[in-house]
Structure formats: structure tokens, C-alpha cells
């Protein structure tokens, strides 16, 4: 039995994500919470012939608590998305408070659940959730994840386009480290499972790196004020949630990229910190998942000079984003 819960379930990401979770036969209960429209979304999804029993909740009468009760996996896409010209950090003012309030109830009602944070700026909202959980003395770094899957999905798609074979895109893996915004997104193209052609020079490499880092802007621009990535994000979020669910059900050896607290496993996090030459608390890394969450944090491995420069460029923004999130909850930090 697996109960998945979506907070922000009536939104642009929330609805298709709820659909994909409803379609997943591993999910047996699906709780949908939002400040609007969840009864309609839940009624609609409930007619789909898959195992999950769907319930929609609104804030009155303890709706959030009811949605979270018994949750195994909580996915959070609640909050406002970007409009053209905005950075993810511009969303902090509104989304920080939304995520904090949701985390307060999670700490009380579902402290053992796996928490998957989609709401931006992920680099800061993940530390916000961690600080709230710490305040309630229920923080387990093994169970908290910033969802960076879309960066990896984009990298796979763009590399497959360059290799001119889109049929391979589901099998292309490009490790993406760092964080989830602009220059903090560090794709290691030198470690692509499908090597780039010999004709792919440094200029092309830099252009592809930039496209992966700022791929979200393509969607924001094309939607022209209508928001940011929703459908590709729902796909990526559902893919990550499925990996977490398969791992919690006992499947071994599942590895997924995520923005995590580097203390989630003793040794791996320290290796990453020594590779980047900085004691950052949070970083996007491939993590091995198990029944209790993160089992192992993967190292960066060999990087070329260009990739080293990308990591150096990511660190100051990441430090700022992390401390902004932490001090939102603990002003003394
Ligand atoms: P949206 O505006 O379409 O949906 C957000 C939903 O959150 C709305 O239904 C709204 O009613 C709900 N909401 C607002 N306050 C709430 C609260 N206190 N409790 C519960 N629900 C609440 O936005 P969209 O496009 O779904 O994006 C959601 C978030 O995901 C944004 O912050 C966006 O930046 C982020 N995002 C993250 C990505 C990632 O890779 N991690 C990629 C794309 C977007």
C-alpha cells in the first residue's frame, strides 16, 4: 500500500502530475490538496480504472492534515511559477511562506514521509523544509529531496537531438550536479552515456550547457506570461516519484538525481564536498535509494577544466540560496 500526496494539486504541474500518479499501479491512495479546485480534480481522476483511491482536500476543516495522514510520499508543486524576465529566486517572496506552512503540517502529521519539493526556488525551498523539520526535531536528510529531474530529462533530450536519434533519448544519461537554477545547474557532458560527436567543439559544448541550464526559460518565453514548464515537469516529477516508490517497496539499486542534504549519507556527501572544494550543505547529486530513503550519495568523478569552472561558478549562488532558505526559518543562521 502506497499513499502519494500532491500539495498544489490543482495547478499547472499538480494536475498532470496527479494524473500520472493515478496511472501508476504502485500507488494505492492519492491525496490531493490545494487551496482551490481539488474536489473537481479528484472526482475527474477517480473515474480512471487504476488502483489508487483518490481524495481531494481544501483548507477548511483540516484538509491539509487529512490529505497528509498516512502519506508515504509527498510531492510539493504548490506556489507561483515564473513569468518572462523572472528568475527562480524572484519567486522566493511568495513561495517560501507557502512551502514553510506546508512543511509545518508535514512535520506534525507525516514526519516519516518522503518529501519531494518541486516549488521554486528549489535551492532555497529544500533548506526551508529541512529547517522546519529540524525545529520539530523530525528532520531526516535521507527523506528530503529537491526535484531536479527535469534538468536531467532536458539534458537527455537535447543530447539525443544532437546525436540525431531521438529514439535513444530515454536511455541517454547525463549527470547533472549543483542546484536547480541557471548557473547552479552543472551538466557533466563529458560523462554522457552517449558520447557527443567528435565534431562537437568547445563552442558547441558551451551552447549545449547553457541550453540545459536555461532550458526552463525557453518554456517561460513560449508560454508568454502563461507560466513555466508544467507538462515536462509533471513527467519528470512522476518519474522521480516512481523511483522513490519502487525503492521504498524494496527494489534495490535505484539511482536518481536529486538536490539533497549532503549529510544524508556519511561518506558520499563528504566526497562530493572535497571534490568541489567547499563544505556546501546541499547539492544535486545522483543518489541511491532504499526503503528508508537515501542509501548512498554519488561522487562527481572525473571532470574536465570547463566543467570545473562551471562548478566554481555555481558555488556562490548556491551558498546564497541555501543561506537565504535557512535564515527564513532560523534568522540567526
Ligand atoms: P500553478 O500556479 O499553475 O500551480 C500552483 C498551484 O499551487 C495552484 O493550483 C495554487 O492554487 C496552489 N497553491 C498556492 N498556494 C498554495 C498553498 N498554500 N497550499 C496548497 N496549494 C497552493 O504553478 P505551476 O506551474 O504548477 O508551478 C508550481 C511551482 O513549481 C512553481 O514554484 C514553479 O516555479 C515550480 N517549478 C519547478 C520545476 C522544477 O524543476 N523543480 C519546474 C517547473 C516549475
**pLDDT tens column, 255-285:** 999 999 999 987 889 999 999 999 999 999 9
Where does the pLDDT of residue 241 fall: very low under 50, low under 70, confident under 90, or very high at 90 and above? very high
The predicted pLDDT at position 167 comes to 87
Q: Give the pLDDT score at 266.
A: 74
For ligand 1, atom 19: residue with the closest CA: 34
Mutate to test the pocket of ligand 1, among 77, 145, 219, 230 (most ligand atoms within 8 A of CB): 77
Cβ neighbours for 203, distance < 8 A, ≥ 6 positions apart: none
- Residue 74 C-alpha to ligand 1 middle, in angstroms? 14
The active-site residue, picked from 47, 136, 180, 261, is 180
In the predicted model, is pLDDT for residue 152 greater than 90?
A: yes
Paired sense of beta strands 293-297 and 282-290, if any = antiparallel
Confirm whether residue 311 is marked as ligand binding.
no
Quick one: pLDDT at residue 3?
98
Q: Is the pLDDT of residue 333 over 80?
A: no
pLDDT confidence of residue 164? 82
Residues with CB under 6 A from ligand 1: 7-8, 10-14, 33-36, 77-82, 91, 95, 98, 102, 118-120, 122, 147, 150, 180, 227-230, 233
Q: Give the pLDDT score at 61.
A: 87
14 among the known binding-site residues? yes
| Ligand 1 atom 8 nearest Cα | 11
Check pLDDT > 90 for residue 331.
no
Cis ω for the linkage preceding 121 (within 30 of 0) = yes
Q: What's the Cα-to-Cα distance from 225 to each of 3, 91, 218, 242, rounded to whole Å?
A: 34, 14, 12, 31
pLDDT in tens, 85-142: 888 889 999 999 999 999 999 999 999 999 999 999 999 999 999 999 999 999 999 9
pLDDT at 173: 93
Instruction: Using most ligand atoms within 8 A of CB, pick from 6, 8, 149, 219 the residue to mutate for ligand 1.
Output: 8
Q: What whole-number distance in Å separates Cα of residue 315 and Cα of residue 323?
A: 12
Q: What is the pLDDT of residue 332?
A: 81
Q: Is 10 annotated as a binding residue?
A: yes
Among 75-89, 177-191, 279-293, 316-330, where is mean pLDDT lowest?
75-89
* Cα–chain center distance at 301: 22
Give the Å distance between the CA of 99 and the centre of ligand 1. Answer: 10
Q: Over the chain, what is the mean pLDDT?
A: 96
CA-closest residue to ligand 1 atom 16: 78
Q: Which of 5, 13, 100, 125 is the pocket-test mutation for ligand 1 (most atoms within 8 Å of CB)?
A: 13
76: pLDDT strictly greater than 90 = yes
150 CA: nearest ligand 1 atom: 40
Q: What are the pLDDT digits (tens) for 185-229?
A: 999 999 999 989 889 999 999 999 999 999 999 999 999 989 999
User: In the structure, what pLDDT confidence band is assigned to residue 25 with cuts at 50, 70 and 90?
Assistant: very high
Q: How far is the CA of 252 from the centre of ligand 1 (A)?
A: 32
- Please indicate if the annotation marks 182 as binding a ligand: no
Alpha-carbon distance of 91 to 257, in angstroms, equals: 23
Mean pLDDT of 300-322: 97
Measured in Å, residue 321 CA sits from the centre of ligand 1 at 19
Asked if the model's pLDDT at residue 243 lies above 90, the reply is: yes
On the question of pLDDT at 168 being above 90, the answer is no
The reply to whether 194 belongs to the active site is no
User: Any binding-site annotation on 120?
Assistant: yes
Distance 97 CA to ligand 1 centre (A): 13
pLDDT score, position 268 = 86
Q: Which of 325, 277, 278 is nearest to 181 (CA)?
A: 325
Cα 17 to ligand 1 centre (Å): 11
How high is the ipTM of this complex?
A: 0.99
Amino acid at each position: 500500500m502506497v499513499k502519494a500526496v500532491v500539495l498544489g494539486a490543482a495547478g499547472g504541474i499538480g494536475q498532470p502530475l496527479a494524473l500520472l500518479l493515478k496511472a501508476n499501479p504502485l500507488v494505492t491512495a492519492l491525496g490531493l490538496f490545494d487551496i482551490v479546485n481539488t474536489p473537481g480534480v479528484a472526482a475527474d481522476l477517480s473515474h480512471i480504472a487504476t488502483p489508487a483511491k483518490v481524495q481531494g482536500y481544501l483548507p477548511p476543516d483540516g484538509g491539509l492534515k487529512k490529505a497528509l495522514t498516512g502519506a508515504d510520499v509527498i510531492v510539493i508543486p504548490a506556489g507561483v511559477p515564473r513569468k518572462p524576465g523572472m528568475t527562480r529566486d524572484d519567486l522566493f517572496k511568495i513561495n517560501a511562506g507557502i512551502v514553510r506552512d506546508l512543511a509545518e503540517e508535514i512535520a506534525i502529521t507525516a514526519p516519516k514521509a518522503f518529501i519531494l519539493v518541486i516549488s521554486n526556488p528549489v535551492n532555497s525551498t529544500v533548506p526551508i523544509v529541512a529547517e522546519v523539520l529540524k525545529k520539530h526535531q523530525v528532520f531526516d536528510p535521507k527523506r528530503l529531496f529537491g526535484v531536479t529531474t527535469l534538468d536531467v530529462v532536458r539534458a537527455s533530450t537535447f543530447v539525443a537531438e544532437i546525436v540525431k536519434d531521438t529514439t535513444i533519448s530515454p536511455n541517454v544519461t547525463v549527470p547533472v550536479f549543483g542546484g536547480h537554477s541557471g548557473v547552479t545547474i552543472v551538466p557533466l557532458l563529458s560523462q554522457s552515456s552517449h558520447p557527443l560527436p567528435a565534431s562537437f567543439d568547445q563552442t558547441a559544448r558551451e551552447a549545449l550547457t547553457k541550453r540545459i541550464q536555461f532550458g526552463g526559460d525557453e518554456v517561460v518565453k513560449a508560454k508568454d506570461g502563461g507560466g513555466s514548464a508544467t507538462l515536462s515537469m509533471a513527467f519528470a516529477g512522476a518519474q522521480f516519484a516512481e523511483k522513490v516508490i519502487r525503492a521504498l517497496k524494496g527494489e534495490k539499486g535505484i539511482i536518481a538525481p536529486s538536490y539533497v542534504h549532503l549529510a544524508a549519507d556519511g561518506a558520499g556527501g563528504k566526497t562530493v564536498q572535497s571534490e568541489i572544494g567547499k563544505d556546501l550543505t546541499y547539492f544535486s547529486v545522483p543518489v541511491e535509494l532504499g526503503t528508508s530513503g537515501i542509501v548512498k550519495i554519488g561522487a562527481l568523478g572525473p571532470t574536465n577544466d570547463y566543467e570545473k569552472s562551471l562548478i566554481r561558478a555555481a558555488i556562490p549562488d548556491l551558498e546564497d540560496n541555501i543561506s537565504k532558505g535557512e535564515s527564513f526559518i532560523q534568522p540567526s543562521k
